[in-house]
Structure 1
Amino acid sequence: MNKVLEIFDTIRSYQQEGVKFLIERDSALLADEMGLGKTVQAAVASSSLVNANPRTKVLIVCPTSLCWNWEMEIKRWAPKMTVRRIRGDSDDRKAHLSLPFKAWIASYDQIRNDIDFLRKECKFDLVILDEAQIIKNPASSIALACRQLRREKAWVLTGTPIENKLDDLLSIFAFLKPGLLHAALNIDQIHDRMAPYFLRRNKKEVLSEVPEIISQDLYLSLESKQQEAYEDELLDTRNSIHDMQGKISTVGLLAQITKLKQLCNFDVISGESCKFKALETILDGVEEKKEKILVFSQYVNSIMKIKTRLNNVPVDCLHGDMSSEERQKSIDLFEKSSGPRVFLISLKAGGVGINLVSASRVILFDRWWNPAVEDQAINRAHRYGRKEPLHVIKFLVMNTIEERIEQILSEKRYLFEGYVNNADTAEIGPFTQEDLIRIVGIDALRN
């Protein structure tokens, strides 16, 4: 039996439909909800193209942290398709592209750096962009470089084609099908035009047997010295805003807010942390139940502080300062080891493209600006293959900027569902300077 058909028969029916959708289109946006196996579908579909025409050349572009994972997935789901992960300096990368492989895996940064060579010397039968929300800014150097790649077919994979605004989707289609969509179109016109090239399914539709997510907001109060440090910093921030008579920059405001957010995690002087105490309480029963827990934070320094203090349970880490090999080693160790075990992950480094279904709980130690990013993190564990419900705990410190950020995010939820066929996440408008001033507790500036 043909190896491609053997593998095709092992994947789920909705994934088979996704493979068919990709194979039949020169331009395709596969926007399945996180956890439904977009990588698997793309790997099997591209293998089918190579099987039909052995001269087919495939370029897969993904975040640096996922290059290693893509290589492993290709070897698993498309074993007959020879693949090379591009690495090394500029000369090494160019040399890799001259080797007789069927597929090459490159990071977005590599495409940006090598686009002059790629544009002149390389043409691909298929270019796949994974986690394509990275090109949401059409003016970014990465988006410009991707649009210059010469290709016969283009497939795009992302569970969040809109993260902040409609322009995100327009930028993706500027790569996928230039000229198809533009800002002057209304929502019905956008739906009609994109429909032939667009496929999205969610877990509720196709994986009714996947256990539910049990979500819990855990409301906390600052420890005494942590509270004093927070109030001192908040007072300094408010005084600075008033002293500047409204002329403080958005960058300056964000810097002040970051200090306050980090104080909600840990007081630098006393070391007090209401969140760490809550985490310790949660972990008390981990050893007995042999649970494996993911803890997400947007701050690497918070991750390292947690790691230093956790002494009674094995701890793994994943953050942006680690190499791809180090990250994959941590992922493999966590997935293959028995519990109890804790995996500390930075939101941006570990929020996309990795599978951690062995975890029984996800803890959001601090909150991101955009719920879509949090959803991506949660879906690292809530994927096909898990057997038990996933318990998600979100820490929220009351009477602080964390509470106000949550309120503003709730107010600013737009109808993301309208543009991506009733997706579970909503479009979140960017924070304005007025929003940032509200976060630090000043309704308006007065001269």
Structure 2
Amino acid sequence: MTKSKKKRTVQAASKWVTTDEEERALRRERAAEEPMRVRPLSSSRAELFQDYAVSRTDVPDALPYTVELRSLGEPVNSCTCPDFRKNFLGTCKHVERVLASVRRPKRNEPAVSPKAELFMTREPYVPLLRIGAGVPSDAARKLAKQVDTQGRLRRTDAAGLAALIGTCEAVAGRVSQEVRDFLTELETREQLERVKAAFREQIIEAEGAAPFLKLPLYPYQIDGMLHLAFTGRAMLADEMGLGKTVQAVAAAAVMREIMGVKRVLVVAPASLKAEWEEQVRTFTALPQEVLFGARHERLLRYRHTPAFFLIANYEQVVRDWREINAVFQPELVILDEAQRIKNWRTRTAQNLKRLEARFAFVLTGTPLENRIDEVYSLTEFIDPSLFGSLFRFNRRFYRFGADGKMAGLKNLGELHEAVGRIMLRRRKDDVEEQLPERVDNTYFVEMTPEQTVRYKEYEETVARLCHVAKQRPLRPEEMERLQNALACMRMCCDSCYILDKEVRDAPKLDELEKVLDDLWAADPQRKVLVFSEWVRMLELAAERLKKRKIGFALHVGKLPQQMRRKEIVRFKENADCRVFLSSESGGVGLNLQTASVVVNLDLPWNPAKLEQRIARSWRKHQKNRVNVINLVSQDTIEHRMLGTLKFKQGLADAVLDARGDAAAFEQENARGAFMARLAEVMDTALQVPVAGGQKRVLEIPADQRLGALLQSENPGVGLCLARYGGDADQVQAVLAVGRPEAADALRGQVEKTHGVALPPDRVVVVTPETRALLLRLAEMGFITLRQDAAKRIFDTGAGEPPPSPDLVRRCGRAREILDVAKRQMRMAGVLAEGCFGDEADKAAREAVCRAAGTLILFAADVPADKVTYPMTEAWVTAVKADAEVDREQVAVLQTAHFGLAAEPKTFIEKAQGFVGYCEDVLEKRQMGGGRIIHFNKS
């Protein structure tokens, strides 16, 4: 009986749509199964309707939740747990556990509280008064005067609620803590509305200027600043280019002035941290710090930073959220490019939502790209009670078929209205009078015969698979082949060079050169952004620009962050640098309004990504007309993608901006219409070719070529496995053990040996620690590892990456340098003991300058054999710029190199510590990845 009940509940909970009763049953089941302790909080333990503390008994130091019990049968009880606050069921597992644990009422004892009870209802979220049977009649009359017949406030302002709380307490009623919190929030909100009105009037009169801002704001930016600052927890979803960063910085400054906010955590993609630093410096004089370094260094900064703005990237916060809550304790959290948390299933989204802060800003230009539950995830970070639990959101806004599967959308107007309570969104055409003109053009380009032949080969593969998909669902391996073939079709549209370096023809680049000639014939100073999804296409473009002696900057993900930043600065400040070549890494967050032309060498699948590219130029402070030029290969998948991009943009318009026809997306066959558009892109009308063509036979199998390449040019992996499809050379995915940063290089080697450019998520490099964990979990029976699922391509035997030859050389050179430095320190010690203070000081300074060569070897891009003594000032600067080097040790090096004054005895001690620090650095490098690097000390 118990087993069947459990099975039914789990099945109900796993469906897309459930009923309230199924959800309540699930919570009753959890209450019965999980080990919990219930403890009454009133001094009168015999009192039934009181507050109870409920805590887990299987979790050490588990914090209790408080349950307020008012009824044994009605859903009017309360709990302080997160689930209760957003499920709108009036119950949770803690309430159900209390109901199961308390004594049953005695004969003639009521099943509801006899007191006056003031608590919050869930839907709508308002205070409600219930006058129990035990309340004296005169007290009941006083209470009744302040509420309507349903028990709700007649005066809904803070003063009205405060008066009701006072009356309720005077007649010995119980006031829920949630009501008191609501009163505080209401009073704060009313006060802020008054301040907001006065503040807005002042700043508009000052034409956007404020004493705490260095530069004035546009009128629409004033509204955005006030929306964020005075809503407190809010979303700013302006289209790209309208200055969301500036509005958030200004709003934080307002909150510092008016609300006393002292600590702000900015969470942004790593590539945008420098951009935030620049914007904060440009618009305010507030202290800031960009978070760098290893975990132990970050933990120190959380405790000791004096900054108002602490700027971190998502990966750091995902790992450090506990310490951030406990130590840094931000009062305001700003998420930039918050689409990183739109998938509520990801670890990033889950950990970011554990951040504890009174205020929160969510900044995104694309709150919806593909699915409406992306909006749900973003709003959950701001206000979990806005839509409640996910099951309630699904029930309200998705249409489900008889089989329980999603069949369409509904109530999009209501969704737009609900999101509008916390979201402010302006599109460029809303504030067009403050923005420069933008002109979009699409140029169609014919492919070469070689491109066409290769394109048709992949198109035939797609046609076959689409034909199969009409008969039955594709298997996972078939879907992977379809995705790979589609990607290769798109690559061929750009240039065969992406797949085969022997073929260098690229009609799109021919067209690009014509476009540049036309642009510069009219205005030689115009700067141009050129985007492509494929790095090899950008490399080919770079070669052509070099031949024509045209200055350009390159911004791709494989470049180090500091190098990318230098490229951005060079493009902005150097008049001769007129072209900015960028992959998708430059499509988000960068301000490149010095350019007034955007050329897309290819089209992304997602319209939001296309707009992100364009917004790098078409944004505030742009004084010139912006030309957007899309280069599209004629009669190809790119040509057909144009309609699909418009469809996806239409869905975002309906939900976010209430534009277009929402009903068109709420039809029963909306899913079918979407699939039809995908079919148009895949071009399933193609005839399926008849099998029988000759396959090209390779002399050496692709897996052996890859193994040989890893043996000679290993990017940092010790074990490499590959999964193949039916075709022996049709690689589907690659898994390696080694250094995760080797993934890009490994992907390039797979492309070189197999002729297929796998998507980045199909080439994964895990650390040896992760592999060990997986093996341990397999031994314990939690997971199953299929030994026959992949082919072993390369294996060092240890499963760990071999050290690179360059690293071995650098470690050997570092050991030579340290041996000399240690001898110098021993000499300094002997001189100091003999009371030769000046000579000892000189020897210690020389030892420091010599030992610093170890840091140069790992901090600067200098050949190992070029690091010699004496060191140059540029090398000192390089050590100082390396965020991994301890700041105290940098000070010791500067004292030694520049001859700064220091007490000899103290400095010798610091010099000894510096040499030891350098030796620690070397040991860490030698132990990189867990493998000791051995070298000949002779």
Q: Contact 2:212–2:253 (CA<8 Å) still a contact in 1? A: no
* Structure 2: segments with no counterpart, 5+ residues: 1-202, 204-208, 388-392, 398-410, 689-938
Work out whether 1:276 is the aligned partner of 2:501.
no
Deviations 1:58-107 (A, max 9, x none): 0001111101110111112121x211111111111111211222221111
Bigger radius of gyration among the two: 2
Distance in 2 between residues matched to 1:429 and 1:38, nearest whole Å: 33
The aligned counterpart of 2:587 is 351
Work out whether 1:416 is the aligned partner of 2:652.
yes
Q: Contact 1:221–1:398 (CA<8 Å) still a contact in 2? A: yes
Deviations 1:288-346 (A, max 9, x none): 42221111111112111211222221111111122332222211111112256111111
Quote the offset at 1:180 in angstroms: 0.6
Distance in 2 between residues matched to 1:429 and 1:362, nearest whole Å: 34
Distance 1:179 1:326, change over 3 A: same
Counting matched residue pairs gives 442
- The one-letter code sitting in structure 2 at the alignment partner of 1:419 is V
The aligned counterpart of 1:19 is 225
Matched residue SS, 1:101: coil
Pick aligned residue for 2:421 from 191, 196, 201: 196
Distance 1:414 1:12, change over 3 A: closer
Distance in 2 between residues matched to 1:408 and 1:45, nearest whole Å: 37
Quote the offset at 1:440 in angstroms: 4.2
Distance in 2 between residues matched to 1:435 and 1:200, nearest whole Å: 28
Matched residue SS, 2:542: helix
Quote the offset at 1:212 in angstroms: 1.8
Pick aligned residue for 2:274 from 51, 68, 72: 68
The aligned counterpart of 1:87 is 292
- The one-letter code sitting in structure 1 at the alignment partner of 2:224 is G
The aligned counterpart of 1:96 is 301
Quote the offset at 1:204 in angstroms: 2.6
TM-score (norm: length of structure 1): 0.90
Quote the offset at 1:401 in angstroms: 1.8
Pick aligned residue for 2:543 from 308, 332, 342: 308
Q: Which has the higher contact order (CA 8 A, sep 6+)?
A: 1
Stretch moving more, 277-286 or 59-68:
277-286
Quote the offset at 1:369 in angstroms: 0.4
Stretch moving more, 139-148 or 195-204:
195-204
Distance in 1 between residues matched to 2:416 and 2:464, nearest whole Å: 49
**Alignment of structure 1 residues 257-406 onto 2, 5 Å:** 257-267=486-496, 268=500, 269-288=502-521, 289-290=523-524, 291-310=526-545, 311-312=547-548, 313-339=550-576, 341-347=578-584, 349-406=585-642
Q: Contact 2:461–2:485 (CA<8 Å) still a contact in 1? A: no
**Alignment of structure 1 residues 158-177 onto 2, 5 Å:** 158-177=364-383
**Alignment of structure 1 residues 102-141 onto 2, 5 Å:** 102-141=308-347
Quote the offset at 1:209 in angstroms: 4.2
Quote the offset at 1:188 in angstroms: 3.6
Q: Contact 1:287–1:339 (CA<8 Å) still a contact in 2? A: no
Distance in 2 between residues matched to 1:285 and 1:173, nearest whole Å: 46
Q: Contact 1:413–1:429 (CA<8 Å) still a contact in 2? A: no
Deviations 1:223-248 (A, max 9, x none): 12222222234335545777998545
Quote the offset at 1:190 in angstroms: 2.8
- The one-letter code sitting in structure 1 at the alignment partner of 2:269 is P
The aligned counterpart of 2:32 is none
Quote the offset at 1:432 in angstroms: 8.1
Work out whether 1:441 is the aligned partner of 2:674.
no
Distance in 1 between residues matched to 2:464 and 2:260, nearest whole Å: 68
Deviations 1:152-174 (A, max 9, x none): 10111111111112111111001
Quote the offset at 1:385 in angstroms: 1.5
Distance 1:277 1:429, change over 3 A: farther
Quote the offset at 1:391 in angstroms: 1.0
Matched residue SS, 1:169: helix
Matched residue SS, 1:252: helix
Deviations 1:168-222 (A, max 9, x none): 1111001010121233153343344333322122233334142221111111110
Work out whether 1:208 is the aligned partner of 2:433.
yes
Provide the aligned C-alpha RMSD in A.
3.0
Deviations 1:111-130 (A, max 9, x none): 11223433444421100111
How many percent of aligned residue pairs carry the same amino acid?
29
Distance in 2 between residues matched to 1:423 and 1:385, nearest whole Å: 27
Q: Contact 1:161–1:172 (CA<8 Å) still a contact in 2? A: yes
Matched residue SS, 2:629: strand
Stretch moving more, 283-292 or 397-406:
283-292
Matched residue SS, 1:155: strand
Deviations 1:137-160 (A, max 9, x none): 011111111100010101111111
